[in-house]
Amino acid sequence: MPINYILPEFEVERNDYRCIRCRVCERQCANGVHRYEPDGDVMLSDETKCVDCQRCVCLCPTHALKIKKNEAALRTNANWKQNTILEIYKQANTGGVLLSSMGNPDPFPVYWDKILINASQVTNPSIDPLREPMETRVFLGKKPHEIERKANGEINTELPPQIELELPVMFSAMSYGSISYNAHKSLATAAEALGICYNTGEGGLHEDFYRYGKNTIVQVASGRFGVYKDYLEAGAAIEIKMGQGAKPGIGGHLPGTKVGADVSKTRMIPEGSDAISPAPHHDIYSIEDLRQLVFSLKEATEYKKPVIVKVAAVHNIAAIASGIARSGADIIAIDGFRGGTGAAPTRIRDNVGIPIELALAAVDKRLRDEGIRQNVSLVVGGSVRSASDVVKAIALGADACYIATSALLALGCHLCRTCQSGKCNWGIATQDPELVKRLNPETGKERLVNLLTAWKHEIKEMMGLMGINSIEALRGNRLMLRGVGLNEKELEILGISHAGE
Amino acid sequence: MVLLNAKALNHQSLNQEIKSVSHDVELTNVLGQRFIAAGLSDKTIDIHGTPGNALAAYLNGATINVYGNAQDAVGDTMNSGQINVFGNIGDAPGYAMRGGRIYVKGNAGYRAGIHMKAYKEHLPVMIIGGKAGSFLGEYQAGGIIIVLGLTDDDKDIVANFPCTGMHGGRMFLRSTCDGIHFPHQVTARIADDETMETVRPYIEEFCGIFGYDAKEVLDTDFTVITPDSKNPYKQMYVAN
C-alpha cells in the first residue's frame, strides 16, 4: 500500500491492568477501531479510524480507555498548521473536496462571550421569579403596526397566523436522513411536551410524526423533498429554506447510501438515489420571485400558516432581510456562520458567512429604521449555546432562537464532527438500524425537556434580575447589554455601549 | 360546470370562489391572477384567458385546462392531477413535480421539468408539443419528459444545457439530436421500439387532447436520454 501521509489524529490509551477483554469497545465502535486478538489475549486498536466520539470511553465498564490527541506531531509551524498540511495530503491522496460536519470550529470571535447583561440594583428592583409570575411565552408572526378598532370601538384582536411558544427557543431544521428516526422522535415529542416547535428540515415528514403537527415546522427547500398538500397542512408553520449558516450559498445532497426505504418514503424519492438539493431555488431570482413562493404556499394552505424564510447570515444580511420583510413572509430565520450541518465542504463551513450576533443586530436595526420591524418576527440560530445566549439574542432584537447543536448534545452527541460518515456511534446522525437503536427516544425526549426546562428557569432568573417580567419587554432592549473588549465598530454594529459607559 | 367570471377578482378571492363550489369550474376573463388552483385535489378547472404565475402549484389531483398561454412556474411541486395547456407555457413548469401530467401544445420556456422526481406509483409525465428552452430537465431525478418539436419554426428541439445534473428518469426528444450537446453523465441514444412502447400511451393521450395524429407523430426517430448513475457526486468528496 502506498504511504498516505495521514497521521492518526487520536491515540487510544488502554489501561491493560483494567481491561477485562469484555470487547464492549469493539462492539460499540462502528468505525472498527478496536479488535480482539485471541493470540496473546490482547485488545488492539487501529487509531487511523478513530474519530474521538468517546462512545467506547463512556461504555467501558472498567474505565480502561482514554482517547487522547495524538502527540506525534509535525514540526510546529504557525503558518502551516498541522491540520492545514493534513488537508493537503488528503486532497492529494484523493482529489476530493474536503467534507466536514457540525459548526465552524475555528477561533473566530464569539460575540456572545463579549457581551454582559445588566442587573437591577436598589432602584427598579429585581423580580423574584420563584415568587412572581414571569412570562416567557412568545408569538411569532406578523404584528399590526398600530392598534386597530372595529366599527363598534372594540379592539380588533384578529392577528395574522402566529406560532405560539412557551419559551423563545425552537429546535432548528435537521432533516430525517441527516439524523435518525429516533432523534427526530425525541425532538418531536420534546417539542410537544415543552410547547415549542421542532423543524423537519428539508427531508419531509415521517408518517409517524404527523401527530406532532402543531409542534412542527415543515420545511420547503430547493429539492422540495416530501412537499405536498398534507405535509404543508400538517405543520404549525412553513419554512422556506433559502440558506443555511454552515454552508451559505450552496446546496446539499444526501448520498444515495443514506436513502433507505424509510427515508425514500418520507422524501418521496426512489431508494438509493442521491437527494440533491441545489444551491438556489431555480425559480427564485428576486424578492418578487420569493414573494411568489411565499404566496403560493399561503394560497395552498388558505392563509392559515405563518411562512418563515430562512437565510444564512451573510455580508448584506440587513438589505436581504429588508427584502424578505416585504415579501409577505411572516418570520425571518437567520442562521449564523457557526451553525451546524450534517455535511458541508470544509472550506465553505469555515470561511463563508458572518457571526449571528452582528447579523441579528444589523437586521433588527435596519427593519426598525425602515419601519417594517412589525412585518416579521426574527428567529436566530447558528450556535446558541445557553440560556444566556438566548437572553442576549432577545435583547439584541430576536423574537426567538433556533437551537440544533445544543439539542444534539443533549441527545448524547459528543461533537466529533463526522456526521457525514453516517456511522454515528450515538445513534443520532445515522440510518444504520443497529446504531439508531442506541438512542432511546424516551430518554432523548426527557433529556431535551430537562435541558430547556433548565434554560427556561435560567431565562426567568435573568429576566428577573433585570427587573423584567415579560420576555416581550426584553426584546430589542439593548440597554440591558454592555460589550467588553470590543472595538468601536463592533459596538456600533451591535448597538450597545461598552462596559463602564 | 359553474361559470365564474374572474374579471376584477384578485388571486385570493378567485381561489376562495373556486374552493367554495363543489362543481367543476369554468373561468372566464382570467388575466394574470397567480396561484390559481394551488393545492387543489378535486374538480376540473377550465381557464379562458391568461392565468398568472404558479398556476396549479402543489396540485393534488385536480384537472386544469388552459385555453390559451400559461405563464411561469405552472405545476410547481405538483403531486398528482393533470394540466393541459393549449398554448405556450413560461419558465420552470413542473418544478420538482413528482406525479401527474403536464401537457403543453406549444413551446416551453427555460428550465422545464427541473428537479422532476418519481416515487412508487407516482410517475410524472411532461409533454411539450413544441420546442423547449434551455436547462430542460436539469437535476431530473425521475419521471418522463417528452418534447415533440411539432411547432413550425427553425429552432432546435431543445435550447442549451439539457439534462444538467440529471440522475434519474428519462427524457425523450423527437429528433435525432444532431448537434445537441448533452452532459457527460447521461447517455443519449435512438429509442428502440420496446422503449417507445413505454411512452406510447402518453403520446397518444397528448395527441387525442390536442388533435394530432399519434401515428404520424410517432413515426419518426426519438432520442432517449437516461442518466448513467443515480449517484453523480459519489467520488467528489473526502472526509475531513
Q: What phi, psi does A473 have (nearest 5°)?
A: -80, -10
Contacts of A296 in chain B (CB under 8 A): 34-35, 38, 54, 57-58, 73, 76
Residue at grid coordinates 472526509 = B239
- Name the CA radius of gyration of chain A, rounded: 24
Identity of the residue in A87, A224, A420 whose CB atom sits nearest the CB atom of B115:
A224
- DSSP characters for B93-120? TTTT--SSEEEESS-B-TTTTTT---BT
pLDDT digits 0-9 by tens, A183-229: 999 999 999 999 999 999 999 999 999 999 999 999 999 999 999 99
Q: What phi, psi does A377 have (nearest 5°)?
A: -95, 155
**Residue A256 pLDDT > 90:** no
- Name the CA radius of gyration of chain B, rounded: 18
Higher-scoring residue by pLDDT: B99, B229: B99
A219 in reach of chain B (CB within 8 A)? no
Give the integer Cα–Cα distance in Å for A237 and A239. 7
Whether residues B47 and B124 fall in one domain: no
- DSSP characters for A60-103? -TT--EEEEE----PPP-SSS-HHHHHHHHHHHHH-PEEEE-SS
Nearest CA in chain B to A279: B139
Classify residue B75: in a domain, yes or no.
Answer: no
Residue A215 one-letter amino acid? N
Whether residues B98 and B177 fall in one domain: yes
Contacts of A345 in chain B (CB under 8 A): 237
Whether residues B102 and B211 fall in one domain: yes
How far CA B127 is from CA of A169, A189, B200, in Å, comes to: 47, 44, 12
Residue A238 one-letter amino acid? I
Instruction: List every span in chain A annotated with CATH 3.20.20.70.
Output: 115-144+167-498
**B15 Cβ contact list (under 8 Å, min separation 6):** A299, B35, B36, B37, B38
- Does the distance separating the beta carbons of B11 and A283 come in below 8 Å? no
Q: With beta carbons less than 8 A apart as the criterion, state whether A387 and A459 touch.
A: yes
A277 in reach of chain B (CB within 8 A)? no
- Average of per-residue pLDDT across A165-181: 96
**Residue A253 pLDDT > 80:** no
**Residue B234 pLDDT > 80:** no
Neighbours of A221 (CB within 10 A): 25
Q: What is the CATH number of domain A10-96?
A: 3.30.70.20
Higher-scoring residue by pLDDT: B125, B120: B125
Lowest pLDDT segment from A14-28, A61-75, A261-275: A261-275
Whether residues B221 and B128 fall in one domain: yes
Neighbours of B228 (CB within 10 A): 11
Question: What is the interface pTM, i.e. ipTM, of the complex?
Answer: 0.94
Residues 281-320 of A with CB under 8 A from B: 282-283, 292-293, 295-296, 299-303
Q: 3-state class of A345 per DSSP?
A: strand
B216 min Cα distance to partner chain A (Å) = 35
Residues 164-203 of A with CB under 8 A from B: none
Domain boundary among B16, B35, B67: B67
pLDDT digits 0-9 by tens, B13-68: 999 999 999 999 999 999 999 999 999 999 999 999 999 999 999 999 999 999 99
A232 min Cα distance to partner chain B (Å) = 9
Classify residue B156: in a domain, yes or no.
Answer: yes
pTM of the entire predicted model: 0.95
pLDDT attached to residue B79: 96
Classify residue B77: in a domain, yes or no.
Answer: no
pLDDT attached to residue A21: 97
Classify residue B28: in a domain, yes or no.
Answer: yes
How far CA A47 is from CA of A50, A257, A423, in Å, comes to: 5, 25, 16
Contacts of A283 in chain B (CB under 8 A): 72-73, 76, 91-92, 95, 111
The CATH class of A115-144+167-498 is alpha beta
How far CA A58 is from CA of A20, A111, A411, A412, A426, in Å, comes to: 15, 33, 14, 11, 11
pLDDT digits 0-9 by tens, A405-450: 999 999 999 999 999 999 999 999 999 999 999 999 999 999 999 9
Classify residue B144: in a domain, yes or no.
Answer: yes
Q: Give the start-end residues of each E strand in B91-197.
A: 101-104, 125-128, 141-147, 168-173, 186-190
**Mean pLDDT value across chain A:** 95
- Average of per-residue pLDDT across A121-139: 92
pLDDT digits 0-9 by tens, A78-103: 999 999 999 999 999 999 999 999 99
Domain boundary among B67, B102, B121: B67
pLDDT digits 0-9 by tens, A108-118: 999 999 999 99
Contacts of A303 in chain B (CB under 8 A): 12
pLDDT attached to residue A234: 97
- The grid coordinates listed for B111 are 428550465
Classify residue B174: in a domain, yes or no.
Answer: yes
For residue A34, the surrounding DSSP H or E stretch is strand A34-37
Q: With beta carbons less than 8 A apart as the criterion, state whether B163 and B230 touch.
A: no
pLDDT attached to residue A427: 97
pLDDT attached to residue A1: 59
Give the integer Cα–Cα distance in Å for B114 and B162. 10
Confidence class for position B166, pLDDT limits 50, 70, 90:
very high
- Give me the number of domains chain B comprises: 2
**Residue A372 pLDDT > 70:** yes
**Residue B235 pLDDT > 80:** no
Contacts of B240 in chain A (CB under 8 A): 87, 90, 98-100, 346
pLDDT attached to residue B103: 98
- Average of per-residue pLDDT across A136-150: 94
Residue A234 one-letter amino acid? A
Instruction: List every span in chain A annotated with CATH 3.30.70.20.
Output: 10-96
Classify residue B168: in a domain, yes or no.
Answer: yes
Residue B126 belongs to domain with CATH number? 2.160.20.60
Give the structural domain span for B3.
Answer: 1-67
Nearest CA in chain B to A293: B54
Nearest CA in chain A to B61: A229
**Residue A242 pLDDT > 70:** yes
Classify residue B23: in a domain, yes or no.
Answer: yes
**Mean pLDDT value across chain B:** 95
- The conformation of residue B10, written as its DSSP 8-state character, comes to -
Q: With beta carbons less than 8 A apart as the criterion, state whether B163 and B140 touch.
A: yes
Percent share of chain B, pLDDT over 90: 90
**Residue A2 pLDDT > 80:** no
B237 min Cα distance to partner chain A (Å) = 4
